[in-house]
Amino acid sequence: MNVIPIRSSSEIRFVLNGRAVALDVRPEALLLDVLRDRLQLKGAKRSCDMQVCGACTVLVDGAPVSACTYLAIEADGRELTTVEGLGGDEALDPLQEAFIDCAAVQCGFCTAGMLLTAKALLAEDSAPTRERVSQYLRGNLCRCTGYRKIVDAIALGGGDRIAQAKPARGALEPLRVVGRSVRRTDALEKVTGRARYLSDMEVAGMAHARLLRSPYPHARIARIEVTSARALPGVYAVLTGADLTWCEPFFGPALRDRPILAVDVARYEGEPVVAVAAVDEATAAAALDLVEIDYEDVPAVMTIEEALAPGAPLVHTGEPLAGHFSDLASLRARPGTNICHQFDYRRGDPESAFAGADVVVDDVYTFPRVQHYSMEPHGAIAEWEPDGALTVWSSTQNPFSVRAELAALFNLTASRIRVVVPLLGGGFGGKTYAKLEPVAAALARVARRPVKLQASVDDAFRTVRRCSARVRVRLGFHHDGRLHAFSCDADYDIGAYADIAPRVIQKGTYTATGPYRVPNVLLHSNAVYTNTTPGGAFRGFGVPQLVWAVESLMDVAAERLDRDPVDLRRQNLLAHGEEFAPGDTPVDGKLEESLDRVAEAIQWQAGAPAGRAKGVAAMMKASVAPSVSEAIVRLHADGSASVLVSTVEMGQGARTVLAQIAAEVLAIPLERVTIVSPDTSITPYDQTTSSSRSTTMVGRAVQEASADVIGQLVKIAAECFGVQPRHLRAEDSAIVGEGQRATYPALIDHHFGMRGGELIGRGVVAPGRTRAPLGGSTPFWEVAMGGAEISLDAETGAIVVESYTSVADVGRCINPQQCEAQDEGAVVQGIGHTLLEEMVYEGGALLNGNLVSYRVPRAEDLPPRLESLFVENGDGPGPFGAKGVGEGSLIPVSPAIANALARLAGVRLTELPLTPERVWRALRDRTPRPSGP
């Protein structure tokens, strides 16, 4: 009885989406790879790789399985369904329709798995309750939507019940296209699995790369032996930091302190040390197994305290080189310390103001290291042309910054570099600035062929994170409640490399006073290097760390002043039109209206039911300045339009909103507008897709470019009609006026004297430098306020967010349903770092760099009641009175919940996340409060 093992390929047969399939697979082949690479069905995605996230869900004999952890050989004889098999050839499955109608689709990376899991649930239970849906989705993560709209879609199940789903309506009268909750323009491709992300892309002849990372937080690299790895058949290139003599090895937007691969020293656990490109990933992995490295341990600094201690080991010793980011010319490192940049600002006479204050509150708050967990990890494909030009396909939020880095690294002109960006499976700031592109390009150069470097989620944990912080805030009040003095002393832990962190700390700190009027201000912050994953941009850009402290202390102050926390805030709010700081952008919203909406929505005055308490928090955040956005609108001879912008679609719905703006101004149907994907050789400059700026800045550029086209049409029509241009207007794909009418195709035809040609409109929005303290004035203020109602399991310390109301002042919703979707996602992401998320280091190593032990919110964590409201006064500086949304609503979540906890249990926590154990300890240690009068 001798069983013969399967060692090589063997044939398997199965039914896939109704069709018989036969193919040979190796025993170790995973079903996900076979589906994606062999059968070219890219709908199932690879994300956590650990059966936690559900992005790879497929149905095997009707049961959901994780294709990432399922041997393909097990599919033999079975029936498989992937997202591509949902619905018929012509029609969508009702569930796919429901996902679109309910706006349950954002970046789309979770969508296939969500749909298939929901199919399995509905097969078991055709009318599940929302609670059952949430439980069943325990194994399906989404980082964009906050789950509410997904649960809506599944609970409705498609069919007739979907009619109950009423798309959100804005408060302002909608225009023809703007102000309406139109379907996302990318929804169809996302619910059918046809949407293509970087991770789905293949370039002919491409090799696959993998990285070997440092196991130590701080180590000198004494020896690297790669001879055997290079000799392995199928290996095209093996690179170490020492090999990078033919290019500039350092990059970074603020400081060029980050090597493509560690040079001599590795500065954090997980830093890339060796890169391999090979015929496939398995060969690349095998090559890395053959690499030998001798490390010599160097003392590491793992915390802010360790890094700032006198005589602390230094993460960096050399002279830093300035990066390419414009407003950091004044980088102020403190040589001989771990301080990479410091920011100072003062206004009025803070020292005297504190001395004269009637009530001063003062405390230190800490904010954890948090991982973005975009469901799609970073990725890049690089290809060098024979003539030396470089093309990089990248999952980046700012292709032009990546281009600038590559130009400096490889000594190329901008025009010789093409950075192309497909759809992103989430970004949240983690994909801003160059990450993997430099190493992919270096490998491709040496391998002499295209190279794809697709990171995994554990790579992402070792690529970028949110800057953690320790923040001391003091607030000084007059007895009448006027906020008179404000000081903030913040140390941000920026990890081993600067990335964009110097801007994060500078910009965050400058706006620390948020929505309040304060005459006397003293701000100081340090960007502190530690031997941990580099900190960078993350939704909120340095502000959540400070608002956590300031808004907690506002409640502490209210108690000391015996004031209602909402009243105290209201008293100190900046007025509409009041300058934030002398010479800086005036407040463009009505802050009291937002605060009052929150108070009204959560019935603040009514108090909370027994066992519950409410808390509020407010915030106001700047967008990036100065900044530039350009747009080109091409009106084709048939009257359809291509909009060329470099806005990255990462789930936020920018393409839909920009198409709505173009369609509105061009007076053509939305379906006739196509947004061209970012490609630095084709689409015009845009600084970055971040900072909630796209609707305002790119939106205005699109509006201007569209108006430019209309101006040209009007001019042509005026000649044709023999009338003054001022009597003409655009309407329904035609120019009309003075009783005459000519369609766009007719006018273009007339203009060129033939059927062909096109009109090109250009829009440029570039506010430029100002005399404001940071050298640029924010184009708008993002305003968000939140109200939480919580309950508490006092024995375990577990907090339940029973209800959350978010109010965002957006000027005007271009697409109310998508605004709501963004906002709900922001709140739930905020609940993540408030209650659950924290990267934990022990002994220099990251303990929880994967989704099994790093816990992000699940559907079950969605508050039973989540309400997203908008203040719309049409007073934003963006198109049609709109302004930015998307980051702000994440920010008040932590203090709103902590303020509710303080009211409920009498404990004031200063450290996030508010884990059950932390809360339990605080409850155990609380001193009995003196009984009231």
Partner 1 sequence: MECGIVLRPFALYQASTVGEASEVLAREGSDAVVYAGGTEILLVLKEGLLRVGSLVDVKRIPGLSEIRADDGHLTIGATATHRAVERSDVVRERCPLIAGVARHVANIRVRSVGTVGGNLAFADPHSDLGTLFLAFDGTVRLGSRGGERELPLEEFVRGPYETARGEDEILTSVRLTPWPAGTAGAYVKFGVFERPTLGIAAALMRDGGDVVTGARLAIGCVTPRPQRLLAAEERLRGFTVAEVSRHADEVATLAMRDVEPLGDLHGSAEYKREMVRVFVRRILTIAAARADGRETDERHPHTIVV
46 to 105, contacts with partner 1 by CB under 8 A?
49-52, 54, 57, 60, 63-66, 68-71, 73-74
Determine the interface stretch with partner 1 among 400-408, 454-462, 649-657, 885-893 (rule: CB under 8 A). 454-462
Determine the interface stretch with partner 1 among 189-197, 536-544, 768-776, 848-856 (rule: CB under 8 A). 848-856
Greatest Cα pair distance, the chain, in angstroms, is 97
Nearer CB in complex with partner 1: 707/798: 798
CB of 649 to partner 1, least distance (A): 26
Residues in binding contact with partner 1, number by CB under 8 A: 71
Whole-number Å distance between alpha carbons of 775 and 325: 13
Binder of partner 1 out of 16, 211, 353, 866 (CB under 8 A): 211
CB of 87 to partner 1, least distance (A): 22
Nearer CB in complex with partner 1: 215/519: 215
Positions in 288-327 near partner 1 (CB under 8 A): 288
379 within 8 A of 199, measured Cβ to Cβ: yes
Determine the interface stretch with partner 1 among 353-361, 774-782, 793-801, 890-898 (rule: CB under 8 A). 793-801
399 within 8 A of 512, measured Cβ to Cβ: no
Nearer CB in complex with partner 1: 51/770: 51
CB of 151 to partner 1, least distance (A): 15
Q: Does 348 bind partner 1 (CB under 8 A)?
A: no
Nearer CB in complex with partner 1: 151/512: 151
Q: What is the DSSP letter of 345?
A: E
CB of 548 to partner 1, least distance (A): 20
Binder of partner 1 out of 847, 864, 865, 906 (CB under 8 A): 847
Q: Which residues contact 733 (CB under 8 A, 6 or more apart)?
A: 639, 667, 668, 669, 672, 743, 744
Tokens at 424, concatenated: 């992103």
Binder of partner 1 out of 220, 482, 729, 855 (CB under 8 A): 855
Nearer CB in complex with partner 1: 136/604: 136
- Residue closest to 428 by CA, chosen among 390, 391, 385, 397: 397
Nearer CB in complex with partner 1: 213/751: 213
> Catalytic: 887?
yes
Q: Does 550 bind partner 1 (CB under 8 A)?
A: no
CA dihedral (681, 687, 691, 695) positive or negative? negative
Positions in 564-583 near partner 1 (CB under 8 A): none
Tell me the three-class secondary structure of 733-752, residue by residue.
CEEEECCEEEEHHHHHHHHH
Whole-number Å distance between alpha carbons of 686 and 398: 8
Whole-number Å distance between alpha carbons of 105 and 93: 15
Q: What is the DSSP letter of 836?
A: I
Choice among 437, 802, 872, 887 that is catalytic: 887
Nearer CB in complex with partner 1: 191/436: 436
Tell me the three-class secondary structure of 65-82, residue by residue.
EEHHHCEHHHHCCCEEEC
* Burial of 126 (C-beta count, 10 Å sphere; 0-12/13-18/19+): exposed
Q: What is the DSSP letter of 701?
A: H
CB of 348 to partner 1, least distance (A): 44
CB of 288 to partner 1, least distance (A): 6
Nearer CB in complex with partner 1: 69/164: 69
Binder of partner 1 out of 799, 871, 882, 905 (CB under 8 A): 799
Whole-number Å distance between alpha carbons of 22 and 24: 7
CB of 160 to partner 1, least distance (A): 27
Mask of contacts with partner 1, 383-422, x by CB under 8 A? ----------------------------------------
Q: Does 793 bind partner 1 (CB under 8 A)?
A: yes
CB of 364 to partner 1, least distance (A): 22
Positions in 171-210 near partner 1 (CB under 8 A): 210
CB of 69 to partner 1, least distance (A): 5
Positions in 888-917 near partner 1 (CB under 8 A): 915-917
Tokens at 40, concatenated: 């070219």
CB of 173 to partner 1, least distance (A): 43
Binder of partner 1 out of 212, 357, 573, 624 (CB under 8 A): 212
Q: Does 28 bind partner 1 (CB under 8 A)?
A: yes
Tokens at 202, concatenated: 């293949």
Whole-number Å distance between alpha carbons of 769 and 763: 19
863 within 8 A of 893, measured Cβ to Cβ: no
Torsion of Cα atoms, 863 then 916 then 138 then 76, to 10°: 170
Q: Which residues contact 339 (CB under 8 A, 6 or more apart)?
A: 308, 333, 526, 527, 528, 529
- Residue closest to 383 by CA, chosen among 375, 374, 392: 392
Dihedrals phi, psi of 807, to nearest 5 degrees: -120, 125
User: 111 by DSSP, 3-state: which?
Assistant: helix
Positions in 483-512 near partner 1 (CB under 8 A): none
Positions in 676-715 near partner 1 (CB under 8 A): none
CB of 466 to partner 1, least distance (A): 19
Whole-number Å distance between alpha carbons of 545 and 539: 11
Whole-number Å distance between alpha carbons of 488 and 507: 13
Q: Does 26 bind partner 1 (CB under 8 A)?
A: yes
Determine the interface stretch with partner 1 among 338-346, 432-440, 451-459, 719-727 (rule: CB under 8 A). 451-459
Determine the interface stretch with partner 1 among 84-92, 181-189, 795-803, 807-815 (rule: CB under 8 A). 795-803
Whole-number Å distance between alpha carbons of 901 and 608: 12
Determine the interface stretch with partner 1 among 397-405, 439-447, 644-652, 798-806 (rule: CB under 8 A). 798-806
Enclosing H/E stretch for 404: helix 399-410
What letter represents residue 491's amino acid? Answer: D
713 within 8 A of 744, measured Cβ to Cβ: yes
Positions in 246-285 near partner 1 (CB under 8 A): 269-270, 281-282, 285
551: Cα within 13 Å, side-chain hemisphere: 31
β partners of residue 380: 394, 453
Q: What is the DSSP letter of 128?
A: -
Binder of partner 1 out of 215, 313, 669, 725 (CB under 8 A): 215
CB of 597 to partner 1, least distance (A): 28
Could you check whether the bond before residue 259 is cis, i.e. omega within 30 degrees of 0? Answer: no
First to last CA, the chain: 86
Positions in 114-173 near partner 1 (CB under 8 A): 117, 120, 136, 138-140
Nearer CB in complex with partner 1: 2/126: 2
Active centre residues (catalytic): 887
